[in-house]
Amino acid sequence: MKPRCSARQGPAHHLTAALLTACAVLSGTPELRAEEAVCGGWANGQQVAQINDERLAESSGLAAGWQNPDVLWTHNDSGDSARLFALSTAPSDDAGDPDASPILTELTLEGAENIDWEDMAIGPCSAGGATACIYVADFGDNLKQRDEVVLYRFEEPDLGSPPAPELTLTDGITAQRFTYEGGPRDAEALLVDPQSAAIFIIEKVEEASSQVFELAGAFEDDAPLEARPVATLTLAENFSFGRMITAADVAPDGRSFSLRTYTHLYTYCAPGGDLRQAFESEPQRLLVNPGTIQGEALGYARDGESIWLTSERLPAPLLRFSRAPADDAGDVPDAGDTPDPQDIDEDAGPGDPDDDHDAGGDDDPQDEPEESRSQLSGGCSMLASAPSPGYVPEWIVGLLAVVGLRRALNRFATRTPLP
- Average pLDDT of span 348-366: 35
Residue 197: CATH number of its domain = 2.115.10
Give the pLDDT score at 406.
53
Say how far apart CA 395 and CA 283 lie, in whole Å. Answer: 21
Tell me whether residue 196 is in a domain.
yes
Residue 333 scores a pLDDT above 50: no
Please state whether 285 falls in left (phi above 0), alpha (psi between -120 and 50) or beta: beta
Strand partners, 107: 84, 167
Q: What angle do CA 119, 200, 243 make, to 5 degrees?
A: 65
More confident residue, 327 or 124: 124
Give the integer Cα–Cα distance in Å for 103 and 1: 40
Q: What is the pLDDT of residue 403?
A: 52
List the end-to-end C-alpha distance of the chain, in Å, as a whole number: 58
Residue 371 domain-assigned? no
* pLDDT, tens only, 76-101: 999 899 999 999 998 765 555 656 78
Q: Domain range holding 100?
A: 44-359+386-413
Number of domains in the chain: 1
- Please say if the pLDDT value at position 338 is more than 80: no
**Per-residue model confidence (pLDDT) at position 402:** 54
Are 326 and 88 a contacting pair, CB within 8 Å? no
Instruction: Point out the least confidently predicted range of 74-78, 93-97, 335-339, 366-370.
Output: 335-339
φ, ψ of residue 212 to 5 degrees: the values are -105, 130
pLDDT at 93: 56
Least-confidence region, from 272-281, 385-394, 404-413: 385-394
In this structure, is residue 18 part of a structural domain?
no
Domain annotation covers residue 377: no
pLDDT at 337 over 60: no
Alpha-carbon distance of 44 to 384, in angstroms, equals 13
In tens, the pLDDT along 17-70 reads 333 223 322 323 333 344 545 576 899 999 999 999 999 999 999 999 999 999
Task: Write the single-letter amino acid at 351.
Answer: G
Across residues 319-333, what is the average pLDDT? 67
Confidence class for position 349, pLDDT limits 50, 70, 90: very low
Sequence-distant (6+) residues with CB within 8 A of 289 are 44, 45, 353, 354, 387, 388, 391, 392, 397
* Residue 365, in any domain of the structure: no
Comparing CA positions, the residue from 67, 68, 113, 108 lying closest to residue 87 is 68
Burial 191-215 (b: 16+ CB within 10 A, else e): bbbbebbbbbbbbbbeeeebbbbbb
pTM of the entire predicted model? 0.74
Is residue 189 included in any domain, yes or no? yes
Q: What is the pLDDT of residue 273?
A: 87
Given a cut of 50, whether residue 291 has pLDDT beyond it is yes
* Assigned domain for 79 exists: yes
